[in-house]
């Protein structure tokens, strides 16, 4: 039995009515699943309309089947397929059932109209085949299926064709006798009375299905009480999207801009989510042949900020600052997820009970108040056994930076901003960097472009004559080798400088990451850089915070960071 037909059979046996929503592609199926429906209806009307063609067997069985398969592949829900009349006689039906069943679709619904059919709500020809002919097609369908689970529903069109209740019941009973697994009783009445009357008279054990397109006032609960086991909302998704698209298109055409729409339409970020971009990125990382990369976010420190920002941080650490509906750490984690980094350690300390970072592992550093960043990162040393991206908890950044950083082949790579040189202020607390100039060849030209220049010096304190050229932004990638070098340098520094000045820190214990990095450089261990030109911001003041709020004001901008 295929898994989806098994699931559908279980749903039909449960106490509640099975709620099925119509789709014509995988996207529709995804949205249906997210909304909480039990199953998807692969609708002939929707599929035809999506091709801008009449729902009248203009599309072939193969085209309709491919659409159903696309729907099925995009969702974990069972797919109930609109198979029109079975696309011909019993021989066509057998071929059809084999294809649908083999593809993993849960059920086929076949109607008793003459091929080629026309949509049930179109006046004019709605003629039915004879009961015996349709029973033959049902028997062919049941005989063709390879596993016992696949379901074949018979759709009774007698009420649509104006043949009356008696004929509808006669047909439904005959179809049940021929092996149908369920009966769809279709009606074009604006009142549910017809189908309710049918349900009252229904006296066979197989489930009844309603498609309340025209008698839309009835609720699923009322249908359930009347004895229906499944309700199919066949085309409302299509109709909602036509209305929404038409209105958006008109606005853009009339105004010449999309601006007024941006807050109403789905942000690109959500579009990527629906595509499954996150999983794809994670797969790329997993199967790249490289070590998977994890992240460490040191978020334990109680930053000494200016009072204008401090007021906002009385009851929460900086990483929990809300920026247009998402916390700083949520935005960082989104960025990490977008490049396939899903294993994230957050080192906590100050107000640790306030930190919420779903999916991350929180590590409490009890010494957070005594020491600085180096101790905080190395507190996670037990976990530093695979390539690790270290990310300061106080920054926002363009996620493209991560894409580029992950390309680095070097053991240690720091992201450095060259716009430092044109900064209007010279804050002494900035982590400043000087890069080694690349040697110029005798001819004055070199063909290779080295994206990752070596770091010559890093720190806060600079002699007057020395000129830092860049700023360390607080993002660093340590490959395994780089981590081993970092840990070794930390142990060495603690041994030698536990009680004496270490680089710019009073002791090794109080070292910043920059001190440790400079210690590595001093020992001849290469530390490389990825040069960027802006594209990030720390959040240290109210001005920084306001800038971030403005950036994320319109959701469309949030695709960037």
CA–CA separation, 48 and 53 (whole Å): 5
Residues 45-64 that bind ligand SPV (CB under 6 A): 45, 55
> Which structure tokens are listed for 477?
């990638």
Question: C-beta of 476: minimal distance to Mg ion in Å?
Answer: 58
Task: Compute the residue count for the chain.
Answer: 561
Place of tokens 């106080």: 394
If one asks whether residue 22 binds Mg ion (CB under 5 A), the answer comes out as no
Other CB atoms closer than 10 Å to residue 364's CB: what's the count? 14
Q: Count of residues binding ligand SPV (CB under 6 A)?
A: 12
112 binds Mg ion (CB under 5 A): no
Site for ligand SPV in 207-236 (CB under 6 A): 211, 213, 234-235
| Tokens encoding 324 | 């247009």
Question: Of the listed 55, 112, 181, 544, which one is catalytic?
Answer: 55
Phi, psi dihedrals of residue 384, rounded to the nearest 5°: -90, 65
Alpha carbons 384 and 45: distance in angstroms, whole number: 56
Q: Interacting stretch for ligand SPV, rule CB under 6 A, among 42-50, 88-96, 132-140, 424-432?
A: 42-50
* Residue 124, CA atoms < 13 Å, CB-side half-sphere: 5
- Tell me whether residue 8 or residue 211 sits nearer to ligand SPV (CB atom): 211
- The 3-class SS string of 307-344 reads HHHHHHHCCCCHHHCEECCEEHHHHHHHHHHHCCCCCE
For 64, 332, 433, 496, the CA distances from 136, given in Å and listed in that order, are 23, 61, 82, 90
User: Which single residue brings its beta carbon nearest to Mg ion?
Assistant: 44
One of 43, 57, 145, 393 touching ligand SPV (CB under 6 A): 43
User: Nearest approach, Cβ of 214 to ligand SPV (angstroms)?
Assistant: 8
Do residues 438 and 387 touch, judged by C-beta distance below 8 A? no
Residue of 119, 197, 324, 507 that binds ligand SPV (CB under 6 A): 119
Q: How many CB atoms lie within 10 A of CB 59?
A: 21
Q: Compare residues 211 and 309 and give the one whose CB is closer to ligand SPV.
A: 211
Q: Does 82 bind ligand SPV (CB under 6 A)?
A: yes
| CB 147, min distance to Mg ion, A | 25
Q: How far is the CB of 480 from Mg ion (least distance, A)?
A: 58
Selected range binding ligand SPV among 41-49, 127-135, 335-343, 526-534, rule: CB under 6 A:
41-49
**Candidate segments 40-48, 251-259, 439-447, 500-508, binder of ligand SPV by CB under 6 A:** 40-48
340 interface partner picked from Mg ion, ligand SPV, none, CB below 5 to 8 A per type: none
Provide the minimum distance between the beta carbon of 191 and ligand SPV in the complex, in angstroms, as a whole number: 16
Cβ partners under 8 Å of residue 506, min gap 6: none
Smaller CB distance to ligand SPV: residue 120 or 393? 120
- 44 part of the interface to Mg ion, by CB under 5 A: yes
398 classed as catalytic: no
> How far apart, in whole angstroms, are the C-alpha atoms of residue 235 and residue 232?
9
Q: Which does 211 bind (CB under 5 to 8 A by kind): ligand SPV, Mg ion, none?
A: ligand SPV
State the Cα angle at 125 between 120 and 127, rounded to 5°.
85
Question: Does residue 126 interact with ligand SPV by CB under 6 A?
Answer: no
CB-based contacts of 80, cutoff 8 Å, min separation 6: 8, 20, 39, 40, 41, 42, 106, 107, 109, 153, 230, 232
Minimum separation from the CB atom of position 299 to ligand SPV (A): 52
Pick between residue 154 and residue 508 the one whose CB is nearest to ligand SPV: 154
CB 433 within 8 Å of CB 447: no
Measured from the CB atom, the residue of 45 and 455 that comes closer to ligand SPV is 45
Give the range of 39-47, 246-254, 414-422, 443-451 binding ligand SPV by CB under 6 A: 39-47
* Under 8 Å between Cβ of 345 and 357: no
Return all residues near 344 (Cβ < 8 A) that are at least 6 apart.
294, 295, 296, 297, 333, 336, 357, 359, 360, 361
Is there a contact between 486 and 388 (Cβ–Cβ < 8 Å)? no
Beta pairing partners, 233: 21
Neighbours of 418 (CB within 10 A): 16
Options 38, 82, 417, 431; binder of Mg ion; rule CB under 5 A: 82
Q: Which is nearer to ligand SPV, 2 or 42 (CB)?
A: 42
Which residues are catalytic, by number? 55
Which residues form the interface with ligand SPV (CB under 6 A)? 22, 43-45, 55, 82, 119-120, 211, 213, 234-235
Which residues form the interface with Mg ion (CB under 5 A)? 44-45, 82
């Amino acid at each position: 039995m295929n898994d989806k037909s098994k699931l559908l059979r279980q749903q039909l046996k449960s106490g509640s009515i099975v709620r099925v929503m119509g789709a014509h592609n995988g996207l529709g199926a995804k949205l249906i699943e997210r909304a909480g429906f039990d199953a998807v209806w692969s609708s002939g009307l929707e599929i035809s309309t999506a091709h801008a063609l009449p729902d009248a067997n203009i599309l072939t069985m193969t085209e309709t089947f491919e659409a159903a398969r696309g729907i099925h592949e995009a969702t974990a829900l069972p797919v109930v397929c609109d198979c029109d009349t079975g696309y011909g006689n019993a021989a066509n039906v057998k071929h059809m059932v084999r294809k649908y069943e083999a593809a993993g679709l849960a059920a086929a619904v076949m109607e008793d109209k003459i091929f080629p059919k026309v949509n049930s709500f179109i006046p004019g020809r709605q003629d039915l085949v004879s009961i015996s002919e349709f029973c033959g097609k049902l028997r062919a369908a049941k005989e063709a299926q390879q596993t016992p689970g696949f379901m074949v529903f018979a759709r009774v069109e007698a009420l649509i064709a104006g043949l009356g209740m008696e004929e509808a019941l006669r047909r439904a009973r005959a179809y049940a006798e021929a092996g149908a697994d369920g009966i769809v009783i279709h009606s074009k009445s604006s009142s549910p009375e017809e189908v309710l009357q049918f349900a009252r008279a229904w006296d066979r054990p197989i489930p009844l299905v309603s498609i309340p397109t025209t008698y839309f006032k009835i609720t699923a609960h009322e249908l359930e009480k009347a004895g229906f086991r499944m309700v199919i909302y066949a085309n409302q998704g299509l109709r909602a999207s036509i209305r929404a698209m038409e209105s958006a298109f008109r606005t853009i055409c009339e105004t010449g801009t999309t601006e007024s729409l941006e807050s109403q339409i789905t942000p690109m970020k959500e579009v990527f989510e629906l595509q499954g971009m996150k999983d794809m990125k994670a797969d790329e990382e997993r199967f790249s042949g490289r070590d998977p990369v994890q992240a460490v976010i040191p978020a334990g420190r109680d930053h000494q900020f200016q009072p204008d920002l401090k007021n906002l941080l009385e009851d929460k650490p900086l990483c929990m600052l809300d920026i247009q509906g998402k916390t700083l750490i949520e935005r960082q984690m989104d960025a990490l997820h977008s490049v396939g980094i899903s294993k994230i350690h957050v080192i906590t300390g100050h107000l640790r009970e306030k930190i919420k970072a779903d999916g991350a592992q929180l590590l409490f550093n009890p010494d957070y108040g005594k020491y600085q960043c180096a101790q905080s990162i190395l507190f996670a040393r037990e976990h530093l056994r695979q390539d690790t991206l270290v990310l300061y908890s106080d920054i926002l950044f363009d996620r493209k930076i991560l894409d580029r950083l992950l390309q680095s082949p070097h053991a240690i790579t720091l992201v450095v901003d060259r716009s430092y040189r044109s900064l209007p202020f010279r804050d002494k607390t900035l982590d400043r960097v000087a890069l080694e100039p690349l040697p110029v060849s005798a001819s004055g030209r070199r063909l290779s472009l080295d994206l990752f220049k070596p770091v010559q010096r890093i720190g806060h304190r600079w002699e007057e004559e020395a000129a830092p050229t860049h700023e360390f932004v607080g993002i660093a990638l340590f490959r395994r080798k780089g981590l081993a070098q970092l840990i070794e340098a930390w142990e060495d520094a603690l041994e030698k400088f536990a009680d004496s000045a270490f680089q710019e820190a009073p002791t090794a214990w109080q070292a910043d990451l920059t001190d440790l990095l400079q210690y590595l450089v001093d020992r001849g261990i290469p530390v490389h850089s990825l040069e960027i030109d802006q594209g990030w911001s720390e959040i240290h003041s109210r001005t920084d915070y306001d800038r971030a709020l403005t950036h994320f004001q319109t959701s469309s901008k949030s695709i960037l960071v």
